[in-house]
Amino acid sequence: MLWGGRFKNKLDDDALNFSSSLKFDINLIYEDIEGSIAHTKMLAKVKLIKAAESKKIVAGLKQIRSEFENGKWKPSENKFEDIHSAIESRLFELIGETAGKLHTARSRNDQVATDLRLWIKKSCNEIINLISWLQKTLISISEKNTDTIIPGYTHLQRAQPISLAFHLLAYVEMLERDKKRFSFTLTEADQSPLGSGALAGSTLPLDRNFTTNELGFSEPTGNALDSVSDRDFTIDFLNGCAIGMMHLSRLSEEIIIWSTSEWNFIKLSDSFSTGSSLMPQKKNPDITELIRGKSGRVYGNYISLLTTMKSLPLSYNRDLQEDKESIFDSAFTFSSSLEMMKNLIASAKFNKERFKAELEGDFSMATDLAEWLVMKGIPFREAHSIVGKIVVILEEKGTNFKELTLEMLKEINPVFDEFALECLDITTALKRKKTYGSTNPQQVKKRIQFWKRKIPLS
């Protein structure tokens, strides 16, 4: 224990097991050792410990890191409260009483806050990289499908024809916003709390700028009280994970729908599908279903930490131990989901000709016909009503735009001419779109080139 001197009796074994965070904060081992090395070097620099003592402590810390990496040392959850006490105990075993000087002018409060910020920074960079790889995969598929026509939906009802490329690029846009959220979080976490002590700073001549630079932070935190109790950056991190999982869940849902025999649009690789224990014919999109399901867990982690934080007085409270399990679980879940989605969609096969015949004459061209009337000088609300009446008439006859003739159109409104029928041609539907950001293949190709410059396909 790091605090035993004030107590006559040791902590109850059950209380230790209840309070120990070692099983999950062992994820901070590398950051804890990194922070301790920087702190030790600083103590020697300001002459609070001797240079020889600093070298001895640093060598011991590096040995602990090596032992952990090689599987020669694994701290017991039944013996230690957390990774910090486990490392210090092992350091005493390796170098003796000199290890006691490591904790000079440092509290576990600023120690864990530093470790967590280092871990969040590292994880943000890793997640941003994984997001970029998924974006690259979607861009690569999009480049081959700028003319692949699929129905676009609102209210899960067919709305207007779009291209598969246009649809997938919508997810590239979403994922870019995810990257911005993690970039913000990375910047927010980029301050060093080390040297803040328990809550009020130190009477010792610490050099906080030195440890800030050693650990790669941009600056030290400005208020010790806030430094040890601030978890805003972790909440933003969980927010990024939650929104990111929501985006993956939406894509998963669409892949699940596309893979049904009713849609018959995508065929998933056997490597990312499972079967049924009863029905021999089944091929289930379980990976996408798991991603969709895991989103709820990540949402729960986000709400859990917000709830923990909502009534904590300044500064540090042990409640804050509950932040780490949520953070690690969300990070690992989101990272693995990104990896799975990238591999799954890269290996899938799309039925590129699936909807061409089916959408020919489909009512999803109704807006194009209404806009043709607008070009003829008819107010849009009137044009909307005219085309609506045409749809009703065709529905009553049990047909669609495919059976529409010029004579039928002129009976409804004499402004129609032979060119009106051209705007119902599905093969030219995408090309007729004119606006920036539309599904027009030329616009889509330009957007693909934009993304390829922004996220090089290496």
* Domain segments of the chain as ranges: 4-104, 109-211+219-356, 357-454
Q: What is the pTM of this model?
A: 0.93
Identify the three-state secondary structure at position 160: strand
Query: Among 188, 33, 53, 169, which Cα is nearest to 111's?
Result: 33
- Report DSSP state, residue 28: G
Percentage above 70 pLDDT, the chain: 95
- CATH 3.40.50.170 fits domain 109-211+219-356: no
Query: What's the CA gap between 148 and 170, in Å, rounded?
Result: 15
The answer on pLDDT for 43 being more than 80 is yes
Look up 384 and say whether it is catalytic. Answer: no
- Among the listed residues 19, 66, 218, 276, the single catalytic one is 276
Q: Quote the strand ranges of 182-233, DSSP E.
A: 191-192, 219-220
- Among the listed residues 76, 155, 271, 311, the single catalytic one is 155
158 has which bridge partners?
153
Look up 304 and say whether it is catalytic. Answer: no
| Per-residue pLDDT tens over the stretch 112-169 | 999 999 999 999 999 999 999 999 999 999 999 999 999 999 999 999 999 999 999 9
| Per-residue pLDDT tens over the stretch 234-293 | 999 999 999 999 999 999 999 999 999 999 999 999 999 999 889 988 899 999 999 999
Chain centroid offset of residue 436 CA: 28
Distances (CA, A) of 154 to 125, 243, 318: 35, 21, 48
Query: Among 251, 3, 234, 244, which Cα is nearest to 108's?
Result: 3
User: 398 in the Ramachandran plot: left (φ > 0), alpha (ψ -120 to 50) or beta?
Assistant: left
Which residues are within 8 A (CB) of 159 and not within 5 positions of it... i.e. 6 or more apart?
A: 151, 152, 153, 364
Largest pairwise CA distance in the chain: 100
| Per-residue pLDDT tens over the stretch 216-230 | 999 999 999 999 999
pLDDT of residue 3: 44
Cβ atoms 359, 161 nearer than 8 A: yes
Query: What's the CA gap between 85 and 128, in Å, rounded?
Result: 32
Q: Which CATH architecture has domain 4-104?
A: Orthogonal Bundle (1.10)
Same-fold call for 4-104 versus 357-454: no
Distances (CA, A) of 70 to 63, 293, 452: 10, 35, 41
- Report DSSP state, residue 220: E
What's the fold here for domain 357-454? Ribonucleotide Reductase Protein R1; domain 1 (1.10.40)
